[in-house]
Amino acid sequence: MSLNANQARLMMLQVADAIIAAEPMLSQADRDLGDGDHGLGMKRGMEAVKAQLEPMDPASVEQVFVTTGTAMMTSMGGASGAIFGTVYRAGGKALAGRPAFDAEGLSLLLSAALEGVMKRGGAKPGDKTMIDALAPAAEKARESTALPLTEALTAVAAAAEGGKEASKNMIAQFGRAKTLGEACLGFPDAGACSVVVMLNTMRDFVVG
């Protein structure tokens, strides 16, 4: 199974709706560790994504993801805008020339997203950031390239969930949460929660 460009567009619209609906949960996750603005920023970003994708007749899957990233980067500002914009811009560019989005494309997307985010933000696995959900997801995607997209996304979403849960036991090395020290134990990183919402929604879309 694979998605054509328009199906990828519909999937990302569903992701946008899911993030917008998750704003209260994402804001609370961020409040537990510091600022509390992550959910509102993600909601603003995904409203911009919807404005771009709803009227679009996409020429390629690359265009869908790069447009998503550009909309997030330009509308959100701040660290989250840069990071999640990079996820989709870098990930989308890795899909250049591919006619459809399949399990191999998922691996290319997540690997390029992870590399782009680590280069841009300087965080690494274990720092209690969204990378703690993205890195295991990317690793699982690399192992799943021979699977149907439904099975690959199911495995990848589960890996991201496991990474998010593991982030509860980490001490933050970045952002406002860094000042909390051990007080941030027991709470997941808000960005990791966003990664889980996105990948769960992609899975739900393809499983149908």
**For the chain, what are the domain ranges?**
5-207
72: phi > 0 → left, psi -120 to 50 → alpha, else beta; which?
Answer: alpha
Q: Does the predicted TM-score (pTM) go above 0.75? A: yes
CATH code linked to domain 5-207: 1.25.40.340
Render pLDDT for 6-18 as a digit per residue (tens, 0 to 9): 999 999 999 999 9
Q: What pLDDT, on a 0 to 100 scale, did the predictor assign at position 137?
A: 98
pLDDT of 46: 98
Contact 159, 139 (CB under 8 A): yes
Please identify every stretch of the chain with a pLDDT value under 50, giving residue numbers as ranges. none
Two tokens, residue 93: 């560019």
**Which residues, other chains included, contact 105 with Cβ-Cβ below 8 Å and sequence gap of 6+?**
2, 61, 95, 98
Collect all residues with Cβ–Cβ distance below 8 Å to 157 and sequence separation of at least 6.
137, 196, 199, 200, 202, 203
Q: What pLDDT score was predicted for residue 146?
A: 97
Q: Looking at residue 23, what is its pLDDT? A: 97
